[in-house]
Amino acid sequence: MSRPPARLTVDDITQLNKRVLIETAFEGDRPHGVQNAAGLLRATAIANQLFLSDPHRRATLLCCALIANHPFNDGNHRTSLHAATLLLLMDGWFYNASVEEEKEIYNWRFDHEEAHDLEATWSRQFGGWDIQGEQAYLLALLDGEYGQRIERFLRTHTERIPMESVLLLLPPRVYAANMKSFPGGAWKKEVNRKRRALASSLRPTWAHYEKLLADQRPDRVAKPQKHWRPEKL
């Protein structure tokens, strides 16, 4: 039974940006905040509505939509890439790029966006009134040099994982949070059925994961590091 494509909501991406600014703090970062709420809403909606069966293209589309709008005060590049890799993870693809490999794609994206004036071009051109125009622009960005380079990066640095097996191992609250990202349907009911049937044998595993999560300190603010793009400062 095939799994329906996962989706990220506006709240998911907003919380991701907050998390990114905490965990990857750079000198000169501005505080977390949304500077283009309407653009963030439209970018998320269009990325969810344009059905693309290939998960890597769907993830690349979301990355392009977010960077075209630059909806956050800071961390837009980091957030757009993390949103893409999170979407892939929920679709069963594990992201394995190193920090150095992330730096390389980040630097290339930064230079390309400056050279082609991509930042906020979508909002300037369409302003929320031309939905079809926005979709056409995004698809052109996806199929152009920018989208193709990001898609190649995501394909190179992800590997398939048995998603259903991973979901069964998650403790209850983490499982519930993950399953919210999938639309309802036969696949979701089947995973819930398997989980209930295996609950007695899985409880020790769930308890172990809960302890690991409790031992982490997710709200610890990272010490700001010097950014690898001096011109950003």
Tell me the pLDDT band of 230, cut-offs 50, 70 and 90. very low
Average pLDDT, the chain: 82
Average pLDDT, stretch 107-136? 74
pLDDT of residue 148: 97
Q: 132-161, pLDDT tens digit by residue?
A: 778 888 888 999 999 999 999 999 999 998
Provide the b/e sequence for 125-141 (b: ≥16 CB within 10 Å).
ebeeeeeeebeebbbeb
pLDDT of residue 215: 66
Q: 87-106, pLDDT tens digit by residue?
A: 898 888 889 999 899 999 99
- The answer, yes or no, to whether residue 50 has pLDDT greater than 90, is no
Q: Which one has a higher pLDDT value, 13 or 173?
A: 13
Average pLDDT, stretch 61-78? 91
- The answer, yes or no, to whether residue 124 has pLDDT greater than 80, is no
Return the percentage of the chain with pLDDT > 70, whole number. 84
Q: 204-224, pLDDT tens digit by residue?
A: 888 887 877 676 555 555 566
pLDDT of residue 178: 77
Closest by CA position to 40, among listed 80, 86, 85, 90:
80
pLDDT of residue 48: 81
DSSP state of 160: E
Tell me the pLDDT band of 84, cut-offs 50, 70 and 90. very high
Tell me the pLDDT band of 59, cut-offs 50, 70 and 90. very high
Burial class (CB in 10 A: 0-12, 13-18, 19+), 20: buried
Q: Which one has a higher pLDDT value, 38 or 142?
A: 142
Tell me the pLDDT band of 118, cut-offs 50, 70 and 90. confident
- What residues does each domain of the chain span? 10-232
- The answer, yes or no, to whether residue 233 has pLDDT greater than 60, is no
CA distances from 198 to 16, 95, 210 (A): 32, 28, 18
